[in-house]
Amino acid sequence: QIARAAGDPDYRVAEEALVRREIQGARKHGARLLTLGVPGYPARLAEIASAPSVLWAQGDATVLGRTTVAIVGTRNASSLALRMARALGRGLALAGVTVASGLARGVDAIAHDAALAGHTVAVHAGGLDRVYPAENVDLAARIAETGCNLSERPFGLAPQARDFPRRNRIVAGVAQA
């Protein structure tokens, strides 16, 4: 009834088997569910108009409550841009600031890697078990050790082009700058 009132007459509740598979996938990957309105959900993200109602978090979700700066940039970055991303990521991390980005190749990956000196948050466009690009699988694993991987998308879902703008709103939503 709520969905119909909101303009979605075709809404159906997810099948129990599907929900159980998603929970099993989360457990297998050491992820936990963060729900809008419940303690542990990123406070800054909750303030945006399009805040996701659920997020999967892998790693240390407490870093989401720290001062956070987003570093994002081109996938085909110049050597100067990559050096700048590395310097900014490392400098912010050493100053106690969490670095958020989208785990893309180029500037994003370099900023995450440099921020491993402290904490970083990688927002995934697909499920946490479908790291994209595949070259960043090891980086995502290292992020989970000291930082946090986040996604609103279900396990098993490969990212598609339409998922990247959705991901970007979460990167912006968890960051103060």
Mean pLDDT of the region 149-176: 94
Rounded CA-CA distance 79/110 in Å is 11
Among residues 102, 86, 82, which one has the least CA distance to residue 94? 86
pLDDT tens sequence across 81-117:
999 999 999 999 999 999 999 999 999 999 999 999 9
> Model confidence over 44-92: pLDDT tens digits?
999 999 999 999 999 999 999 999 999 999 889 999 999 999 999 999 9
Q: Closest Cα partner for 57 from 109, 122, 1?
A: 122
State the chain's mean pLDDT as an integer.
93
Contact between residue 30 and residue 57 where contact means Cβ atoms under 8 Å apart: no
Instruction: Look at 2 and 64; give whichever has higher pLDDT.
Output: 64
